Amino acid sequence: MIEIKNGDCLSLVKKIQDESVDCIICDPPYFLSNDGMTCSSGKMVSVNKGDWDKKDGYKEIYDFNLNWIKESYRILKKGGSMWISGTYHNIYIIGSIIQSLGDFRILNNITWVKKSPPPNLSCRFFTHSTETILWIRKGLKSKHYFDYELMKSFNENKQMKDVWVIGRPKKEEYKFGKHPTQKPEELIERMLLSSTRENDLCVDFFGGLSTTMVCCKKNNRNGISFEINPDFHKSSRERLKHTHTKK
């Protein structure tokens, strides 16, 4: 079962029962749309992504993250996993909220190293080439699922480290549209396969083009995602229609 819902995640998630979800994978807004410039395909372009990537100051950003993280806690099973992607723009706020809620445990701080990051146009800073992914468990003393052997098999039969070198989404992942913060399937799939079993239920609060749901469908997981933008939601439906379960 894969469901992709169009609307505000904080309203739609109310319909999900308490402690009914095995895994949450989220790529929340980084709130970088500040009228600055960046580099894309060798060209200078605006960093503005949309109204969904704008908030007025620290308190609005904090409250926004607090609200969806509280809902995550409500729906997640004891021992369930949550994966949150971010950069220094938002990950420290999120980490602070996680710690303040008291019954979450951060299991790993994953560093995703991008193979081909865009250059820094100002030449006054180091090039931003990484993102942080927090792997979090509900319950300080709960037991979580980790497919250790599968992760070893992905890493030449050696323990997988918390630094993942993974490139940008492949060309075919853009076939039905392109999202400005789209994550590669390889990255999402690693989170999903390491922390869930077949038929587990995974939720994504910020669906985008439904990369998490695509990975769920390919790997026999159930999934529910929310996307507020109707155009991205429409493209997601088409993308999922052409996604098939791996044999």
| Distance separating alpha carbons of residues 222 and 59, to the nearest angstrom | 34
Residue 241 tokens read as 């229609």
Q: What is the pLDDT of residue 43?
A: 55
| Residue owning tokens 């979580």 | 144
Note whether 75 and 9 are within 8 A (CB): no
Note whether 199 and 185 are within 8 A (CB): no
Q: List, edge to edge, every strand of the sheet that includes 222-227.
A: 2-6, 222-227, 201-204, 21-26, 76-86, 130-138, 104-114, 163-166
| Distance separating alpha carbons of residues 193 and 154, to the nearest angstrom | 11
Q: What is the pLDDT of residue 9?
A: 96
Note whether 43 and 32 are within 8 A (CB): no
Domains of the chain with bracketed CATH: 2-37+49-241 (3.40.50.150)
Q: What is the pLDDT of residue 51?
A: 58
Report pLDDT digits (tens) over 50-82: 554 555 678 999 999 999 999 999 999 999 999
pLDDT in tens, the chain (247 residues): 999 999 999 999 999 999 999 999 999 998 774 545 455 555 554 444 555 455 567 899 999 999 999 999 999 999 999 999 999 989 999 999 999 998 999 999 999 999 888 888 788 889 889 999 999 999 999 999 999 999 999 999 999 999 999 999 999 999 999 998 899 999 999 999 999 999 999 999 999 999 999 999 999 999 999 999 999 999 999 999 999 998 7
Nearest to 239, CA basis, from 167, 227, 14, 247: 227
| Distance separating alpha carbons of residues 65 and 53, to the nearest angstrom | 13
| Distance separating alpha carbons of residues 81 and 186, to the nearest angstrom | 18
Q: What is the pLDDT of residue 102?
A: 84
Long-range CB pairs of 238-241 (<8 Å, 24+ gap) are 238/176, 238/177, 239/175, 239/176, 239/177, 239/209, 239/210, 239/214, 240/2, 240/4, 240/210, 240/213, 240/214
Q: What is the pLDDT of residue 120?
A: 80
| Distance separating alpha carbons of residues 221 and 1, to the nearest angstrom | 8
Q: Which amino acid is at 217?
A: K
